[in-house]
Amino acid sequence: MQLLTLSNLVLLGASLSSTPVIAAPHRDSPFERLRNGLNLPEKYLTSSKAKSLKAQNPYTPDYRDPLDKAVDSVGDDLDPLPYRNGLGASVLGPWNKERSRTNPDLVRPPSTDHGNMANMRWSFADSHVRIEEGGWTRQTTVRELGTSVELAAVNMRLDKGAIRELHWHKEAEWAYVLEGSVRVTALDYEGGNFIGDTNKGDLWYFPSGVPHSLQGLAPNGSEFLLIFDDGRFSEESTFILTDWLAHTPKSVIAENFHLDPEVFKHLPPSEKYIFQGSGLPGSIEDERPSGKNAKKSKHQFTHKMLDQEPLKTSGGAVRITDSKNFPISKTVAAAHVTIEPGALREMHWHPNADEWSFFLRGRARVTIFAAEGTARTFNYVPGDVGIVPRNMGHFVENIGDEPIEMLEVFKADEFRDFSLFQWMGETPKKLVMDHLFPNDKEAGEKFWNEVKDANKDPVTKFDKQEEGFSGTESSDL
């Protein structure tokens, strides 16, 4: 065995120094530092916003916020981590960064959250898509979202000329047109026919058992949201014309329609469901049945929700459609709500039905109070469904930089809600003071002066500058 001499070691070192070295993965990257709750060094901070975030990043061990203010992790490009007011720790295991960004208040809940609550959020992005000729459909029912017990929903797309074939349901169907135009047809309980065209923001409603059809119009068809008044609904349980005929003896079909069985030789062998039509329909008048006994329906099955004059509030706008202004809609009531950035759908509750919400635009946080010291906060982005069981207190806060546009839908004939603000102003002052401010009369007077006019402001915005609000965070809170 040859011993290594000093000269051998020198030669070996020279040889190694000329060999390229492959560096190990660097573990001190910006992502790794933030993931482990560490601040970023100055070298990574190239903009004033980034430098501000160094001091303001709420997902670090040193950050303190006794007010539990909302954080827009999407808008501020932050990766939520479970740190809150000195508590928590970093994440070492697998981590879905994008999912966490859209649910920051699940990663770091407000300190006011407490207790167990069932899930109240679902995204249509997680729903199975059924793809057909000229369209597709996906649903959110009690099977996808266990708390959606009163209502179920279907998101459907029909291309130009595509038809959702003639069918009916056990449940009533309410719809909101998301984009495009749809031709709808129906037969009412008295045998009258209805044909109508709907556009973005329009509604239709078909009571239980009413047969109907849908067809996408030019130039790009339509996409819409369907609501059914039973959370157990399934799109697969629809009564479909071609499915029925495919499972009925040809002799019976022939007898029913007073024709030779040969006429029905080439009927579709199974349901068509969604299919491409032979072309776009003509005008409503051109298409209207004109047989000797055909008659026009006396009922209006469609409604232009966005054409309603909105209730304008300090922080947005509200349009309510229920049986009062859309008489045929006996089992579904709804509100179209716009919440401006920095505004709040005020603290309230609904006494007559669960709230089924659909978010069309914006980013929101919602805290639901379920009594017994239980509260939980959820976040919502476009395409999300939210549930608030009846009588549970809640709010909807706009945490983003664009307006929230949402639908509040209820299994009810009439929209009803109670405003916490209005309730306080309609309650004797002494009762309010004894409940909330028994040991702080100065604060009690400020509160009473604000609520005493009992103003109901469904979407409210607090002008902090006008009110002289300092934003100082007290350690006593």
Residues recognised as catalytic: 408
CA–CA gap between residue 172 and residue 216 (Å, rounded): 21
Let me know: does 354 contact 368? Beta carbons within 8 Å: no
Instruction: Give the three-class secondary structure for 58.
Output: coil
Phi, psi of 459 (to 5 degrees): -120, 110
How is residue 140 written in tokens?
A: 């959110």
Counting other chains too, the contacts that 129-132 makes at CB distance below 8 Å and 24 or more residues apart are 130/235, 132/273, 132/274, 132/275
What type of residue sits at position 296? K
Length of the chain: 477
* Strands of 305-445, DSSP E: 311-313, 316-321, 333-339, 344-349, 355-361, 364-369, 375-380, 384-388, 393-398, 404-410, 418-419
Return all residues near 81 (Cβ < 8 A) that are at least 6 apart.
34, 35, 37, 59, 60, 88, 90, 91, 107, 108
User: Residue 358: how many CB atoms within 10 A of its CB?
Assistant: 24
- Integer distance in angstroms from the first to the last C-alpha of the chain? 76
CA–CA gap between residue 329 and residue 300 (Å, rounded): 10
User: Residue 316: how many CB atoms within 10 A of its CB?
Assistant: 25
CA–CA gap between residue 96 and residue 104 (Å, rounded): 12
How is residue 427 written in tokens?
A: 């309650």
Neighbouring C-alpha atoms within 13 Å toward the C-beta of 109:
14
Instruction: Map tokens 């045929």 to a residue.
Output: 328
One DSSP character per residue, 204-258 reads EEE-TT--EEEEE-TTT-EEEEEEES-TT--GGG-EEHHHHHHTS-HHHHHHHHT
Element (H, E) at 44: none
